[in-house]
Structure 1
């Protein structure tokens, strides 16, 4: 049970205490931006991954999947140097080695040496001299399951992402899961909690299905922000608008309250729209009025980077998020335009 924060909470430090929640590419992208405006960062990361190198290590060694943890450690590295590149290096050949990254293998080895996954994360974090802390949302071995709109149940994150039917809901097995205490404490002490961006059903919601995590977010006096994805994700959020993302988030986490939803309003170049359309993805549309009716402030900003992909831009995100920590932003205000 999470105790509600005392009203005598200490005054805010010179650097805001920021907690980010999620997994996958979206989380590591966000962290690269957040570390530019505060060193006091806690990443709370999903451990439901069962594909690729992480899935193999999970199955063969019985450890928690290290891939998303590794990406967060690299993103928070003081300098993304040769050692960071080494962590991310993935073997392209070799029986038993092909597909594994050195960082995943290192975390697996440190877990084997220390006998503890959290200790392994701390040791890997020291190697890269990271700003902040990285915690899994739980150290229990959870399996993610989804109920589809045809009432079938799909087991495993990697299979859920390939579903051909819309997802009705996701849930964990076991259902009662204990969080990492340090993650709960960070949430309770945070000035700013950021959820997303990332895969809605397989990276973000699994963290919030852990009761004490969701309860800690609700009890925290932090500013709570949801960063909506820029593009829909085939197999997960086909046809979803920003309102649908928020609705599913709240549906899975009754009692969760958010202050702000951040949505990209920069047009996607035609060449990229056409390329993504071939994969079944489109830009996430939005209706500010409908979002506001759901009880949140809506911030519309250009927060993307265009290359061969459409991704959130770490520095653009950071500029907006930093402004939201300033004292005059303590009270809600009307929707902000570009």
Structure 2
């Protein structure tokens, strides 16, 4: 699709290339609130940013649009775009617009209830452009996003996983759960294992694979470990790109380890899970808030098995809530990057 002439004056400043090279090229992988947290931190650094976003969501507004239009689930992509908006009046306004959800009248059919406006905008651009990557580029230009947002695959993906639960009589039961939203619910009552993607041989988005290859740093996490972080290691193209990339790899730990998806798993078990699903991936650094690590020696041993150095830093908000502080996380990322520049290892 040709660029409408009338849009050029409005979008030209946002489509212009940066005037100078960024200090770091960073590719952040994930989805949902976790990826949003890392992007909000990274956008304040002197970095050229690319977000590679999981496309396995099948619930809520995203799930409805995916089912009715046969498109990629736009929700996590929308959140990444909103996170990359500048902290200006323009950026804050458009971030709020993208995140706005409609609330329909109680006596209405409710077909638009809780749809996010940003999801509808992204799907509209996809229909107009005929290309998900091009549509996201236009959305980013409109928002003035400080970076590029890409889907990990151009094929909508479905997560499968086993959930082991304890029966009332004391026995154990294993169920195979299909779908991200169903898996997140089932995980509340059991232990997740044997996670796979369908189609298992889906191709990675070429631009995303190129970004992983060209980066100085590739960052995994924070986020829902099984449904936002792990999918990038389950897709063969993305896993191989991470393994083969000359970039360093950093894992950002969650502030809470005992979530609905990872009940009973400590911080060390989170790292062991990455090693189990991607044994060929060398992790260079692991960043963790001290409050999230129950057993430091066990955690350091798990990081060492992955080849990683551990960096402890207070990255949560001062209130103590399990929420990343944008400035603290940005400073922690900068310290990790500079430490490797200084030491060379």
- 1:231-250 alignment, distance < 5 Å: 231-250=256-275
* Residue of structure 2 in register with 1:325 after alignment: 337
d(CA) in 1 for partners of 2:180, 2:229: 12
Larger deviation, residues 177-186 vs 92-101: 92-101
TM-score of the two chains, using structure 1 as the length reference? 0.85
* Residue of structure 1 in register with 2:158 after alignment: 143
Contact 2:82 2:94 in 1 (8 A): no
* Residue of structure 2 in register with 1:224 after alignment: 249
* Residue of structure 2 in register with 1:3 after alignment: none
Given the superposition, is the C-alpha separation of residues 65 and 233 from structure 1 closer, same or farther in structure 2, using an over 3 Å criterion? farther
* Residue of structure 2 in register with 1:272 after alignment: none
Return 5+ residue gaps in structure 1 as ranges: 1-12, 267-282, 333-338
* Residue of structure 2 in register with 1:45 after alignment: 53
* Residue of structure 2 in register with 1:8 after alignment: none
Return 5+ residue gaps in structure 2 as ranges: 1-20, 165-172
Deviations 1:17-55 (A, max 9, x none): 001000010101110110111340000000000111101
Contact 2:32 2:76 in 1 (8 A): yes
* Residue of structure 1 in register with 2:311 after alignment: 299
CA shift for structure 1 position 115: 2.2
* Residue of structure 2 in register with 1:73 after alignment: 81
Residue 99 of structure 2 is aligned to residue 83 of structure 1: no
d(CA) in 1 for partners of 2:34, 2:102: 23
Contact 1:42 1:132 in 2 (8 A): yes
CA shift for structure 1 position 72: 0.7
Contact 1:229 1:284 in 2 (8 A): no
Which of 172, 175, 178 in structure 2 is aligned with 1:152? 175
CA RMSD in angstroms, aligned pairs only: 1.7
d(CA) in 2 for partners of 1:108, 1:221: 34
Aligned length: 304
- 1:160-199 alignment, distance < 5 Å: 160-163=183-186, 164-199=189-224
Contact 2:26 2:219 in 1 (8 A): yes
* Residue of structure 2 in register with 1:285 after alignment: 294
Which of 233, 236, 240 in structure 2 is aligned with 1:208? 233
Contact 2:37 2:83 in 1 (8 A): yes
Contact 1:137 1:179 in 2 (8 A): yes
